[in-house]
Amino acid sequence: MTPIDDDSVVEPTQPGRKRDPSRDASILEATLEVLAEVGAASLTMDLVAARAGAGKATIYRRWTSKTQLVIDAVAHMKRNQVDLEHLPDTGTLRGDLLGLFKPQSMEESERRLKIMTGLASLLSQDRELADAANGAVVKPWADAHFALMQRAVLRGEISASADIQTLSQIVPSMAAYRSLVQRKPMELAFLLSMIDGVVLPALGIHRFDVPSVTPTRRGAGGAKRRPKP
Amino acid sequence: MTPIDDDSVVEPTQPGRKRDPSRDASILEATLEVLAEVGAASLTMDLVAARAGAGKATIYRRWTSKTQLVIDAVAHMKRNQVDLEHLPDTGTLRGDLLGLFKPQSMEESERRLKIMTGLASLLSQDRELADAANGAVVKPWADAHFALMQRAVLRGEISASADIQTLSQIVPSMAAYRSLVQRKPMELAFLLSMIDGVVLPALGIHRFDVPSVTPTRRGAGGAKRRPKP
DNA sequence: CAGTTTCGAAACTTGACAGTTTCGAAACTC
DNA sequence: GAGTTTCGAAACTGTCAAGTTTCGAAACTG
């Protein structure tokens, strides 16, 4: 949060109309929408104002600059996050990792990644913004993976010597890179090749059932079937 | 390459001063320098012209727009690339992967990643540019990893059933993400945690010597020393 | 009610920069 | 040498959008 630091402290009641808190939410929400649609480069304050049904003066009364607004908007989306409380619990790590991706969670991730992609143009300008994006999109996702892996360790499913810290970042980071540079959307095939081709093997899990997923030999992009000839 | 398509074909000799081919190189080189220093967002044609010791007219005689110039510059840096011909050959995959990073290759990668980071602002605008960046920075690196892994398969060091296609992309992509979003430079510690914590374990290699690398217990962000207890 | 602040809307100011054009000098063809 | 194209430098044009100001109406305080 970095709104214009108003009179929040010691204040003997001020005259005049009060600020409408609903405007804050509208503006932040509009910012995220525009961000996802046209990207930060083409995001103009007029566009945001129009979308929020607000005047530019109202925006500049709360944020000092476009960059600050965007940073705040990105941080704002950290809410509605993956609940570290109720993570999937299917009994196997593979099931858990895939379970993270079932319901609306899929399109929510897609949305976040889209916003991050649009953010690209500002990432190189502000370290602060880059941190916010990382913290809002990749970090919580990695945290979830970390928690799931930790549980798998306790359960005895995987070795305690595995480098869980590093491995938990693979899927989120690769997904972000993929979205950012390669411009490909979230796809199950990608997830599967990451989980089955990288994460699980690295954790020492080489045999796993593939229940109810694409009966036609998954095309993870090169996983050979036959071992040494 | 997308210079203004001049009279290259059927041409009966033209009058007038000839184009100085050395200007092309100067301009492209200057573009890359500026790109690495201030990023594409703050890259102006005047800046490039000044750096190259050229006039803007000279630039616009060869490229139609800033974007085209940048795309060409990025493609231009594909030269001086990792030679797929003479890759390191140390006898072990780990040695080979690390060997890719010894000499000036380290700072060259650093430079490329810096350029890519600066490029971020345009990545979201042009798919073409994003492809060029991916092709110039990440792709060749991944190709090298792929070749090294393939050799390890033939040598019998790793199983042929491993998803080499996916695994060869891990290090380059993660390095790019790291540089792009987290703004951290290339570091040996990062490489080690990727190779020892992810890639090699995923290939089924769990025990490896750590010869002549940081006698003081490497702090690779979590790679534990002892394998399964 | 008098005074103050907020609101949305719209007009305005300003700086930055992509792309053009102009200029005088050099380099080339015939 | 006449005509043409290139060169670097610098002046010029045009657009776009960030940020500011103004306005009339609403909302609040005392």
CATH for A58: 1.10.10.60
Same domain, A103 and A61: no
Is A201 part of the contact surface with chain B (CB cutoff 8 Å)?
yes
CA nearest to nucleotide D22 C1': residue = A57
In a domain, A213, yes or no: no
Instruction: Using CA coordinates, name the residue in chain B closest to A130.
Output: B181
Chain B residues with beta carbon closer than 8 angstroms to that of A225: 161
Q: With CB atoms and an 8 Å threshold, state whether A196 touches B163.
A: yes
Å between CA of B19 and C1' of C22: 20
ipTM of the complex: 0.84
pLDDT of the residue at B145: 96
What is the average per-residue pLDDT within A118-143? 90
Q: How confident is the model at residue A7 (pLDDT cuts 50, 70, 90)?
A: very low
Q: Is B169 inside any structural domain?
A: yes
Protein-covered nucleotides on strand C (Cβ within 7 A): 3-11, 16-23, 26-30
Measuring alpha carbon to C1', the residue closest to nucleotide D20 is A57
CA–CA distance from A12 to each of A18, A21, A81, B193 (Å)?
A: 14, 20, 38, 56
User: Could you tell me if B110 and B189 lie in one domain?
Assistant: yes
pLDDT at position A228 over 50: no
Same-domain status, A101 and A143? yes
In the predicted model, what is the mean pLDDT of residues A33-48? 95
CB of A161 within 8 A of CB of B226? yes
Interface contact B18, partner A, CB < 8 A: no
pLDDT band at residue A162 under the 50/70/90 scheme: very high
Q: Is residue A115 part of a domain?
A: yes
| Residue in A133, A222, A229 nearest the CB of B163 | A222
Decide if A198 and B170 are in contact by the 8 Å CB cutoff.
Answer: yes
3-state secondary structure chain A: CCCCCCCCCCCCCCCCCCCCHHHHHHHHHHHHHHHHHHCCCCCCHHHHHHHHCCCHHHHHHHCCCHHHHHHHHHHHCCCCCCCCCCCCCCCCHHHHHHHCCCCCHHHHHHHHHHHHHHHHHHHCCCHHHHHHHHHHHHHHHHHHHHHHHHHHHHHCCCCCCCCHHHHHHHHHHHHHHHHHHHCCCCCHHHHHHHHHHHHHHHCCCCCCCCCCCCCCCCCCCCCCCCCCC
* B44 and B135 in a common domain: no
Model pLDDT, residue A103: 66
Look up the CATH number of the domain holding residue A171. 1.10.357
Range of the domain at A129: 93-202
Distance from CA of B10 to the nearest CA of A (A): 39
Residues A110 and A193 both lie in one domain: yes
Structure confidence at residue A86 (pLDDT): 82
The reply to whether B40 and B99 lie within a common domain is no
Same domain, B103 and B198: yes
- What pLDDT, on the 0 to 100 scale, is given for residue B11? 53
Is A108 part of any domain?
yes
pLDDT of residue B102: 73
Q: Is A202 on the interface with B (CB under 8 A)?
A: yes
Q: Which chain D positions have some atom within 7 A of a protein CB?
A: 3-11, 16-23, 26-30
Considering the domain architecture, whether residues B169 and B117 belong to the same structural domain is answered as: yes
| Same domain, residue pair B195 and B170 | yes
Count how many domains chain B has: 2
Q: Identify the domain boundary among B9, B43, B76.
A: B76
Å between A15 CA and C3 C1'? Answer: 8
3-state class (DSSP) for residue B42? coil
Average pLDDT, chain A: 85
Q: What is the pLDDT, as a whole number, of residue A200?
A: 97
Asked if A53 and A148 sit in the same domain, the reply is no
* Per-residue confidence (pLDDT) for residue B7, from 0 to 100: 41
Quick check: is B11 in a domain?
no
In a domain, A50, yes or no: yes
Give contacts of B163 with chain A, Cβ < 8 Å.
Answer: 193, 196-198, 201, 220-224
Q: Does A45 have pLDDT greater than 90?
A: yes
Q: How far is the CA of B55 from the C1' of C12 (A)?
A: 35
| pLDDT for res B109 | 84
Residues B103 and B177 in one domain: yes
178-197 of B, contacting A, C-beta below 8 A: 178, 180-183, 193-194, 196-197
Instruction: Say if A116 falls within a structural domain.
Output: yes
User: In terms of domains, do A64 and A103 share one?
Assistant: no
| B28 touches A at CB < 8 Å | no
Q: Render each residue's pLDDT in chain B as its tens digit; 229 residues.
A: 444 444 444 456 788 899 999 999 999 999 999 999 999 999 999 999 999 999 999 999 999 999 999 999 999 987 766 677 788 999 999 999 999 887 667 788 888 989 999 998 888 888 889 999 999 999 999 999 999 999 999 999 999 999 999 999 999 999 999 999 999 998 899 999 999 999 999 999 987 766 544 444 444 433 444 443 3
Q: Which of A34, A67, A124, A157 to mutate to test the interface with B (most CBs of B within 10 A)?
A: A124
Residue A81 lies in a domain: no
Range in A60-64, A98-102, B55-59 the model is least confident about: A98-102
